[in-house]
Amino acid sequence: MPAFLTDAGSTESNKEFSMTHRLLAPWGMLIVAWFCCFAVTGANGADLPTLDQRFADEAIDEVPNFQRHVIPLMSRLGCNGRSCHGSFQGRGGFQLSLFGYDFQADHDAMTKGDEPRVNVDAIDESMIIAKPTDEFTHEGGERYKLGSWEHRVFKNWISAGAKFDKDEVAKLDRLEVTPAEVLFGVDPEQVQLKAVAVWADGTREDVTPLCRYTTNDGEIAAVDGDGVISAGEKGDTHVIVAYDKAVISVPVLRPLTDLVGSKYPEVSATTKIDELVVGKLRKLGIMPSPVAADEEFLRRVNLDIAGTLPTPDEVRAFVADKDPHKRQAKIDELLDTTAYVAKWTTLLCDITGNNDQQLNNVSPVRLGPSQEWYDWIYRRVEQNMPYDELATGIIMARSREPGDSYRDYCEEMSDLYRKNESFADRDTLTHYWARLNFRTPEDRAIGFAYTFMGIRIQCAQCHKHPFDVWSKQDFDDFKTFFAQARFTRQPRRNDASFEEYTALMKELDVTGKNGGEVRRNIAKKLQQGSTVPFPEVELLPTAAVFRQPNRGKRNKNMPKPDMLANILGETEVDLSKVEDIREPLMKWLGSDTNPYFAKAIVNRVWAAYFNVGIVDPADDLSLGNPPSNGPLLDYLAAGFIENGYDMKWLHREITSSDTYQRTWLPNDTNRMDFRNFSRAIPRRLPAEVAYDIVTQATTNDKTLENYAATLEDRAMSIPGTSPQGKSRNAQYALQVFGRSTRESNCECDRSMEASLLQTVYLQNDSEVLKRLTDNGGWVAELSKQINGNPDVDKQLERRVEQGRELINNGQKKLARLRQSNAKPEAIRQGAKKLAAARSRLETLERQLRRQKLPAAEKSTPTDIHSLVEEAYLRTLSRWPDEEEKSLAQRHFQEVGDPVDSIRDLMWALVNTKEFIVNH
């Protein structure tokens, strides 16, 4: 079957291009030479023919351009690759910039020095000709032949003086690659790419033989140096085309089955997401799996949105509900739980870098900055603050309000700590700028790019980014925007605030043998009512960003003196005209046309639901790592922006789709599909969720009923990277299951891989075994119900009375708060505590009424069938099948004791793959 070229015309025209490209008869050469002379004039805007065509004629007198022709040719030949002269050390005393993007440096390396590679007086003795054409003397072997078109390019350039004028560097407007998508037939074929460079002056040139071609999966599609793609295994990948600063990706697909075109069955697409996903599946001949059953959907959506299991009663009620809109209602219900807020706060703490070890300089009293960081984000997720506003509160963080003095700031912070007010009340998250690994402009630029743009820019510190357009100059300009704001323990000595700091310290009159003792004494003064000095995020004067203080010398790490900087080569900013140089950065980041900001968070959220991002890894949105479904990512990002960066809109849009709700069970066409979302992929649970659901599945009925509404003792509510207090017990388990270390903002800080140690933990760890026997657990509760507990009624009655008294006191306290015009946050917290107390009382009263029923009327599941059913619903959120019922009943009969039997069954279920993965 012939290849279908989506926008390049017929296969026949493609073959004609290949024939012209390779087989030039003498007459053809004359025609090409004549056409070349005609096209150079730019008549009718025609594309200049390829360099290999023009220089196939020995009589060619054209002078190649250093930027457009010589350097790209050297790149194609591999001369400036990382394994050759483009390495940090160079080769054979000759060093070029990696991938050839520092034209002046490369020209100097070729034409200057003790042993220049270019000899204009003896052209053929020039080392860029003599060595690459000699396979014996050149370590890299023969790169091209004497008399070839490559030889004529170098020879003509040298003979014309080997010139390069840095003031005439041309700007590439775009690179047009056709076909834009390659869809092969079932049988392997070949397709020739064509690349046309369009320069800012309007010149168009076919640069196909000057591009660098790579494939993201050589098993599916191989590509040679001429841009010819050869089909391999069935599947989809991308071929990457690079020339000058342009990087273009070309999707390459080869159907897995013959279910393409008119043979593809009708598949329902109820949402735009489904339409875009099925659109690609149709090209690949992949049939999606059907929508999952209610039990499977309910378990998955609970774990994904709230990090909890549905309770047995929730499973029963959901399956029995006949409302066709019940799934959407359940999604909305979960998005209103505290568990949802905690789970997605944890994700944002991961990507912003909330790490205890990096925050030991934030406060003079060490009151838990990671908790303050967590609380600040939690509040905004709870309020469903638009994501761009949340990001602005982090990126634009400043300690002082406009017009406040240093003493004003210190008094405000001292009051906050003395009165135990919430750090979440503050408008900005200054802690983001306080991390010890966030001190230099370079570190901040790299961390910021990971967090808010989903890109890995660190390569550009030293050389042009290998898979994107950013050069070293782009990085140097970008880091400028992170050079002004800094976190400091005390004001600068030449700042007016330093006098206020000195006066505060004099008033405190604190001493100590070392810094730790001084800090402790300051903390005591704070609790006694004194105003103490606080570290702060301050902005250096703009001029100070460009010069070292008191020396009048330019800091080599700071931007160029003209105070102009480009934001990743896109927007030039005159920094002398802005007070806070983060403002133009935030404006650029939040613009509707920004290619990174919305896509970065959308892709991360998608990855959390599907185990793989539309771009994978989720923090590598480079041009060389294109999305598996570009239209899908574009749609979600555009919709996210149009809906005001509403995070709940994004969650609803994804989870309401059939694509998300499909079963994990594969069919014959999608069994090996892991990146096109034709089915759910069983995936390891995040460490916090894995730890919490073991507790949830084994806990007593009362705790289970309110598990999604409370964060008490939940691993998901641990703020930083070092669990404290009761949470310390979770530290080992969270490490085993790969909780994020939050060391670099990289997705790799969190491990989602399964390991033998995780299996050993679930089977043998004393903490897991304790939960199966603990007095507060379900098994212990069953034991009391089955074996009897004469004191249970009295205990429940006492707890009910205590609960009623607690509610009465809470009502009085809330009334006093409202009458005294207390802060809204205090009133909100009081009302929240009262609501939780009422919920607990209702549960206790229900249990007491149940205990007072005659034995014959109780619904305690003491029979084997009910016990087994309850165990399966608690752990796997489904009913056992007939075989599972039979095995459980046989075990109960062999053991004899129902309590021991149910404990064994719970241990076995917790250790199944079905329990510890989401599916």
411 occurs within a structural domain: no
Predicted confidence (pLDDT) at residue 330 exceeds the cutoff of 50: yes
636 occurs within a structural domain: yes
Burial of 798-828, coded b for 16+ CB within 10 Å and e otherwise, reads ebeeebeebbeebeeebeebeeeeeeeeeee
Sequence-distant (≥ 6) Cβ neighbours of residue 12 within 8 angstroms: none
Predicted confidence (pLDDT) at residue 107 exceeds the cutoff of 90: no
Of 147, 169, 191, the residue at which a domain comes to its end is: 169
Tell me, what's the pLDDT at 365?
67
Contact 594, 585 (CB under 8 A): no
Predicted confidence band at 95 (pLDDT cuts at 50, 70, 90)?
low
192 occurs within a structural domain: yes
Peptide bond into 64 cis (omega under 30): no
Residue 770 DSSP SS3: helix
Same domain assignment for residues 140 and 78: yes
Residue 213 DSSP SS3: strand
Tell me, what's the pLDDT at 788?
59
The mean pLDDT of 275-304, rounded to a whole number, is 97
**What mean pLDDT value characterizes the chain?**
84
The mean pLDDT of 600-605, rounded to a whole number, is 97
Tell me, what's the pLDDT at 282?
96
456 to 139, 374, 747: CA distances (angstroms): 33, 25, 11
Same domain assignment for residues 159 and 235: no
Predicted confidence (pLDDT) at residue 22 exceeds the cutoff of 50: no
Tell me, what's the pLDDT at 96?
60
491 occurs within a structural domain: no
Predicted confidence (pLDDT) at residue 108 exceeds the cutoff of 90: no
Predicted confidence band at 18 (pLDDT cuts at 50, 70, 90)?
very low
Side chain identity at residue 877, one-letter code:
S
Closest CA to 225 of 247, 242, 237, 238: 242
Contact 216, 234 (CB under 8 A): no
The mean pLDDT of 529-553, rounded to a whole number, is 72
Of 169, 188, 219, the residue at which a domain comes to its end is: 169
Q: Are strands 246-254 and 182-183 parallel, antiparallel or unpaired?
A: parallel
Predicted confidence (pLDDT) at residue 92 exceeds the cutoff of 70: no
Burial of 138 (0-12, 13-18, 19+ CB in 10 A): middle
Contact 274, 657 (CB under 8 A): yes
Lowest mean pLDDT among 128-132, 402-406, 705-709, 759-763: 128-132
Beta bridge partners, 213, equal: 241
778 occurs within a structural domain: no
Is 295 or 67 the better-scoring residue by pLDDT? 295
323 occurs within a structural domain: yes
Residue 917 DSSP SS3: strand
Same domain assignment for residues 193 and 158: no
Lowest mean pLDDT among 56-65, 485-494, 708-717, 795-804: 795-804
**pLDDT above 90 as % of the chain:** 46
Tell me, what's the pLDDT at 839?
73
Predicted confidence (pLDDT) at residue 176 exceeds the cutoff of 70: yes
Is 492 or 558 the better-scoring residue by pLDDT? 492
134 occurs within a structural domain: yes
415 occurs within a structural domain: no
How far apart CA 555 and CA 629 sit, in angstroms, is: 44
pLDDT tens per residue across span 262-284:
899 999 999 999 999 999 999 99
Q: What is the CATH number of the domain that holds 192?
A: 2.60.40.1080
Same domain assignment for residues 10 and 112: no
How many domains does the chain contain in total? Answer: 6
Same domain assignment for residues 579 and 481: yes
Tell me, what's the pLDDT at 4?
32
Predicted confidence (pLDDT) at residue 681 exceeds the cutoff of 60: yes
Range list of H helices, 820-876:
824-851, 864-875
Predicted confidence band at 103 (pLDDT cuts at 50, 70, 90)?
confident
Tell me, what's the pLDDT at 73?
87
Lowest mean pLDDT among 4-8, 92-96, 123-127, 894-898: 4-8
The gap between the terminal CA atoms of the chain, to the nearest Å, is 38
In the sheet that 221-223 helps form, which strands lie side by side, from edge to edge?
Answer: 190-192, 228-231, 221-223
Lowest mean pLDDT among 157-161, 251-255, 604-608, 846-850: 846-850
Tell me, what's the pLDDT at 513?
73
How far apart CA 303 and CA 917 sit, in angstroms, is: 10
Range of the domain at 122: 66-169
Strands (E) across 419-515 are located at 485-488
Predicted confidence (pLDDT) at residue 32 exceeds the cutoff of 90: no
The mean pLDDT of 18-35, rounded to a whole number, is 36
Tell me, what's the pLDDT at 7?
39
pLDDT tens per residue across span 335-357:
999 999 999 999 999 999 999 98
pLDDT tens per residue across span 621-630:
988 899 999 9
Is 233 or 833 the better-scoring residue by pLDDT? 233
The pTM assigned to this predicted structure is 0.83
Contact 210, 74 (CB under 8 A): no
Same domain assignment for residues 587 and 463: yes
The mean pLDDT of 432-449, rounded to a whole number, is 91
pLDDT tens per residue across span 144-168:
788 888 888 988 988 989 888 877 7
Side chain identity at residue 5, one-letter code:
L
Is 882 or 93 the better-scoring residue by pLDDT? 882
Tell me, what's the pLDDT at 495?
80
pLDDT tens per residue across span 49-73:
899 999 988 888 899 998 899 888 8
Q: Are strands 571-574 and 564-567 parallel, antiparallel or unpaired?
A: antiparallel
**pLDDT above 70 as % of the chain:** 86
Same domain assignment for residues 557 and 463: yes
Burial of 622 (0-12, 13-18, 19+ CB in 10 A): buried
pLDDT tens per residue across span 247-264:
999 999 999 999 998 899
Predicted confidence band at 21 (pLDDT cuts at 50, 70, 90)?
very low
Lowest mean pLDDT among 9-18, 117-126, 477-486: 9-18
The mean pLDDT of 380-394, rounded to a whole number, is 97
Side chain identity at residue 271, one-letter code:
T
Burial of 654 (0-12, 13-18, 19+ CB in 10 A): buried
How far apart CA 234 and CA 254 sit, in angstroms, is: 5
The mean pLDDT of 370-378, rounded to a whole number, is 95
Tell me, what's the pLDDT at 801?
83
Contact 169, 67 (CB under 8 A): yes
Same domain assignment for residues 584 and 602: no
Tell me, what's the pLDDT at 205?
94
Q: How many residues does the chain have?
A: 919
Closest CA to 275 of 606, 632, 630, 611: 632
Tokens coding 255: 């159907």
Same domain assignment for residues 868 and 903: yes
Of 857, 880, 895, the residue at which a domain comes to its end is: 857
The mean pLDDT of 317-340, rounded to a whole number, is 95
Same domain assignment for residues 466 and 545: yes
Same domain assignment for residues 462 and 571: yes
DSSP classification of residue 287: P
pLDDT tens per residue across span 716-744:
999 998 887 667 788 899 999 999 998 88
Lowest mean pLDDT among 136-150, 276-290, 402-416: 136-150
The mean pLDDT of 849-861, rounded to a whole number, is 48
The mean pLDDT of 672-698, rounded to a whole number, is 95
Tell me, what's the pLDDT at 41?
37
Tokens coding 446: 């790299």
Tell me, what's the pLDDT at 794?
67
Predicted confidence (pLDDT) at residue 173 exceeds the cutoff of 50: yes
How many CA atoms does the CB half-sphere of 745 hold within 13 Å? 28
Q: What are phi and psi of 58, to 5 degrees?
A: -60, -25
Tell me, what's the pLDDT at 851?
58
Contact 51, 22 (CB under 8 A): no
Tell me, what's the pLDDT at 508?
87
Same domain assignment for residues 251 and 143: no
